[in-house]
Structure 1
Amino acid sequence: MRRILPVVLLVLIMSCKDKEVSIKPRNISNVEVEILLQDSLLNVRALEIDEDDYFGFATSNGKIGGKDFNFKGGNIYVNKENKQDDYLKESATVNFQIKHDTIIPNFRSLAATKNGGFVLGIGNPALLYKIDNDSIKLVYQESHPKAFYNSMDFWNDDEGIAMGDPTDDCMSIIITRDGGNTWDKLSCNDLPKIKEGEAAFAASDTNISIVGNHTWVATGGKVSRVLYSPDKGYTWEVYETPIVQGKPTTGIYSIDFYDELNGFAIGGDYTNPKDNLENKMLTKDGGKTWKLVAQNETPNYRSCVQYIPNTNGKELVAIGFEGIDFSHDAGNTWKHISDEGFYTIRFLNDSTAYAAGKGRISKLVFRE
């Protein structure tokens, strides 16, 4: 592991999801929240952590940054012109503001490999940047009135994928096979056709889940399904789901797989965040079939779900702007453990995670 941008952006890799055998599931009952970065203008839906204790984030106003938890120096301010409001405890680097001509990208996707860090903005034009050492390079641009990219992930250091709303009659899928230097958009001839009103949500950069060569992509809206590729995006099929759908704001907002068979998806309708009917589902056969769980029970609408690492697929956390929920039985039942609101979460280990949302990035410590 090496740093991509010394003193500016720390190396990021895909969220650590070690699939090790664990002790029996815990009964986590509370979470401690420590604010690391606070700024009323901050809006973060793209956050990644690696096993070397680095995290990186990208914001809605074109900024990228990171933090080294092993560094024990003093504060380094995010915005040197406003030291009272923008700060990170211990160690941080943020001072990269990306612009494309006069356009400030709204970053919702973030990933990294040994070849560099990658940030992808929503909207038209879609802008994907590679960040390596002291350079920032635009490696993909797509100009289309319907361009809207939601999530990005990598299979390995050379091969990666990003997905977005349809611009034609299929979901937008772009893939790199050369370490992120070039990206190609898949033809709709090679992808399942969308149904009317099918799109996706750029809520937490968790529309894509990867286990080995297996890839699952969640769609949402009037139709909410799961696209599946067994071979790193060369071939695709699509699976129907029972999650709530029928409106532009309904469907899957987040999907995560613990292994090749066991996965969980969550969402709902963010315009009706109290509703908890048909918004949570699990699969035990790699996404071919899905079962609704915890009907009319918490959690309600949530924008992100993640398996806790090293828990044998039994423990999950769901997070959203109305709070945090925990499951110890693979998602069949849940406990609401905090009203603290965030958009997205990534786990450092089985007790510590980092979450981001509107106005802040925080460290979360989960306790029984």
Structure 2
Amino acid sequence: MSAALCVMAVGVGTVSPAAAARPGAVDGRAPGAVKGGWRLTDSGSDARLRGLAAVSRSTAWVAGTKGTVLRTRDGGRSWRDVSPPGAQGLEFRDVEAFDARHAVVLAIGEGEASRVFRTQDAGATWSESFRNTDPRAFYDCMTFFDRRHGIALSDPVEGRYRIVSTADGGRTWRLLPGRGMPAAQPGEASFAASGQCLVSSGPRDAWIATGGAAASRVLHSSDRGRTWTVAATPVPAGDPARGVFGLAFRDTAHGIAVGGDYRPGQPSPRAAAVSGDGGTSWAAATAPPKEYRSGVAWLPHSRRLALAVGPTGSDLTFDGGRTWHTFDTGSYDTVDCAPDLGCWAAGEKGRIARLGG
């Protein structure tokens, strides 16, 4: 596939790789074709932005280092700094937004560095709704099943991953019992690289991506985090820098996992896998991205098209994650798509881009 890819049809997924590689080509059978690849916007920030929530083609939220939260309502033409006051020392790694006014952000770190903030007025004001008081816990990611129900994930404490839950849109959080969580492997953890180490699909299903241990694994819950099953993946681990970094499920059955070795210059073979049974089993991608990828997203209304991003580029799949084609070499850490076909990516040095024109 040409690196000058300029069309990605996101309507019904009927465009072919050959058509997409032709400059200016549009598959007329696929409504909502997106032209132009990634188009960088001027964020006005130099923060590394690993948290991203795509609300629509016009509205998106990003979060990152130095306590940074930005929001756009005009398709990225301008970004407003809506960071919580006094949060400059925090590392935001995940943001979940319900619309242009309501969002929840997660700060990572040991002990009290792990916190959750919530806004209901577009970032004009924020309330801190959770602060971790256990020095052994380190929260990485969060996800919401709907506007009220969500969960957040900590690396293992006493040999098991830890989950806190909200049933009121992030206003309050409670620790879930750990008896339904399988034992963690020695050295196992999740990567707070893209806000996608914990994801959900539908009203009750959630998945956790892991690495750093002998095997990379994906844990699955069908009851909003109370009980979990576990499956090994073919993505290489065996080192604190390797494993599954990001997950995406287009429904409760079909998932994609991406990862590799995040250290620059290190090889990342077999850095993607797919599941067709809700994460019960995983098969290696036959032609995975050639380098480490930290974020992945299904393109809306498609059964086969998805995007993966990482510090060295972006890839597209036309067959549900089995084969991948690089179309951009810019640096991004995370990617997300909204139901109206608005896809966004964000990363280092304040980079934020929207897919298409």
Rate the CA distance shift 1:97–1:23 in 2: closer, same or farther, 3 A. closer
Displacement of 1:262 in angstroms is 1.0
Q: What is the aligned partner in structure 2 of residue 292 from structure 1?
A: 284
Match of 1:311 among 302, 317, 337: 302
Could you tell me how far apart the structure 1 residues matched to 2:265 and 2:243 are? 12
Partner of 1:123 in structure 2?
Answer: 109
Tell me the alpha carbon deviations over residues 179-229 of structure 1, each in whole angstroms, 9 at most, x when there is no partner.
211111223223111110110101110112211121111112114211111
Q: Which moved more, 1:185-194 or 1:106-115?
A: 106-115
Task: From the superposition, tell whether residues 235 and 97 of structure 1 become closer, same or farther in structure 2 (CA, over 3 Å).
Answer: closer
Determine the C-alpha separation between the residues in 1 that align with 2:67 and 2:240: 26
Alignment partner of 2:171: what SS? Answer: coil
Paired residue for 1:198? 188
Match of 1:36 in 2: 41
What aligned pairs does 1:17-36 form with structure 2 within 5 A after superposition?
22-27=12-17, 28-29=20-21, 31-36=36-41
Structure 2 residue identity aligned to 1:108: R
In the TM superposition, what whole-angstrom CA distance separates every residue of 1:271-315 from its partner, at most 9, and x where no partner exists?
A: 2555242221101111111101135x5332101111111112x11
Which letter maps to 1:49?
A
**Corresponding residue for residue 76 of structure 1:** none
Maintained 8 Å contact 2:261/2:268: no
Corresponding residue for 2:62? 57
Equivalent residue letter for 1:309? P
Aligned to 1:261: 253
Q: Give the match's secondary structure for 2:292.
A: coil
Match of 1:337 in 2: 327
- Indicate if the aligned counterparts of 1:98 and 1:104 stay in contact, CA closer than 8 A: no
Q: Find the aligned partners of 2:346 and 2:154 in 1 and give their Cα distance.
A: 21
TM-score (norm 2): 0.84
Give the aligned length: 326
Aligned 8 A contact 1:273 1:301 in 2 = no
Q: Percent identity?
A: 28
- Distance (Å, rounded) in 2 between the aligned partners of 1:249 and 1:90: 36
Alignment map for 1:96-115 (pairs within 5 Å): 96-99=83-86, 104-113=89-98
Match of 2:344 among 332, 354, 364: 354
- Unpaired runs of 5+ residues, structure 1, are 1-19, 71-88
Gaps of 5+ in 2: 1-9, 24-35
Residue 331 (structure 1) shift? 1.4
SS in 2 for 1:109: strand
Structure 2 residue matching 1:135: 3-state secondary structure: coil
Contact 1:352–1:363 under 8 Å retained in 2: no
Give the direction of change, closer, same or farther, for the CA distance of 1:44–1:155 in structure 2 (3 Å limit): same
Which residue of structure 2 lines up, in the alignment, with residue 180 of structure 1?
A: 170
Q: CA deviation at 1:351?
A: 6.2
For residues 301-333 of structure 1, give each alpha carbon's deviation from its aligned partner in whole angstroms, at most 9, with x where no partner exists. Answer: 101111111112x11111000001111111111
| 2:211 paired residue number | 220
Q: Is the 8 A contact 1:176 1:183 kept in 2?
A: yes
2:142 matches 1:152: yes
Cα distance change of structure 1 residues 328 and 366 upon mapping to structure 2, 3 Å threshold = farther
Question: 2:298–2:307: 8 Å Cα contact kept in structure 1?
Answer: yes
* Cα offset, 1:39, TM superposition: 5.2
* Contact residue 163 and residue 175 of structure 2 kept, 8 A: yes
Q: Would the aligned equivalents of 2:71 and 2:82 in 1 still touch at CA under 8 Å?
A: no
Amino acid at match of 1:62: G
One-letter amino acid of the structure 2 residue matched with residue 32 of structure 1: G
Measured after TM superposition, the shift of residue 146 of structure 1 is 3.5
Q: Supply the distance in 2 between the matched residues of 1:154 and 1:48 (Cα, whole angstroms).
A: 12
